[in-house]
Amino acid sequence: MRADLIDIVARRLDRPVASFRALGGGCVGEVYRVQLKDGGDLVVKYDSRPNPALDVEGYMLRLLSGRSALPVPRVLHSDPDLLAMEFIEGESRFDAAAQHHAAELLAALHQVRAPQFGLDRATLIGGLHQPNPWTGLWIPFFRDQRLLYMADKALEERVMPAALHRRVHRFAERLDSFIDEPEHPSLLHGDVWTTNVLARAGRITAFIDPAVYFGHPEIELAFITLFNSFGTPFFDAYHALRPIAPGFFGQRRDIYNLYPLLVHARLFGASYLAGVEKTLAPLGF
């Protein structure tokens, strides 16, 4: 552990550090479990790269804490290059009881409303910029700020071939033939997959690493299916609380997963574009 980082954390928090231990995970910066000499137990993220934005993660966690009952770590310090939050015990393993609890928590989150889709500011997903201009309707928001924005960036970064980019744009022109407007804009965690949820003894202890905005709950549910974060116990419990409209597990789920697939292509490589092609082809694009 670098002595300079120990000094940075102690100085920013104004509390002496007893020990540091590196933790795995996280797309942005270094992640550590920090024990303070006064007994505090924290998770600290540090990003020494140019233009860090860990303060955005701090903002999102505070928003979720302030606007919902979703369990998230309490933020103790938030700077662009350093984020300190409470350490919460838990593992990314979910028995049926934990999945039921996750369904209750996310169904309640999705009841938190806003007048429009978007957010007061841009956020991040996996360290990538996520624009959130307030928009009156969901379909234009998803088309322009999610699907086309991420496809255009993938083309610009030479991750996506021009031919596939054109197919995405042609599909986007017909998007209103495939998805519907929701009842209201819902507060979303935005990045619910296995390692971003912690559980212990059949209860969810925390949701971490959010990508917050107000959107359609179906995009949240779709992402959960992409990597099988939760299974049948979750969806049965969620459906009992907030009925999932017919047809979601057909085309709509795959359409909404175009967004995280494009995110993963930019973050981890073009192999994720195979999923984009697999979704577009049966739709005629």
Residue 71 neighbours by CB distance under 10 Å? 19
Which two tokens mark 98? Answer: 């934990």
Beta-bridge partner residues of 200: 203
188 Rama class: left (phi>0) / alpha (psi -120 to 50) / beta: beta
**Contact between residue 187 and residue 110 where contact means Cβ atoms under 8 Å apart:** yes
Q: What are the backbone angles phi and psi of residue 32, rounded to the nearest 5°?
A: -135, 150
Residues 6+ apart with CB under 8 A from 33: 20, 21, 23, 41, 42, 43, 44, 87
Question: b/e map of 47-62 (b: 16 or more CB within 10 Å)?
Answer: beeeebbbbbbbbbbe
Q: What are the backbone angles phi and psi of residue 263, rounded to the nearest 5°?
A: -60, -50
**Contact between residue 87 and residue 43 where contact means Cβ atoms under 8 Å apart:** yes
Which position among 47, 191, 209, 254 bears the catalytic label?
191
55: part of which helix (H) or strand (E)?
helix 54-67
CA 30 – CA 43 distance, rounded (Å): 10
CA 99 – CA 102 distance, rounded (Å): 5
4 is catalytic: no
Active-site residue list? 191
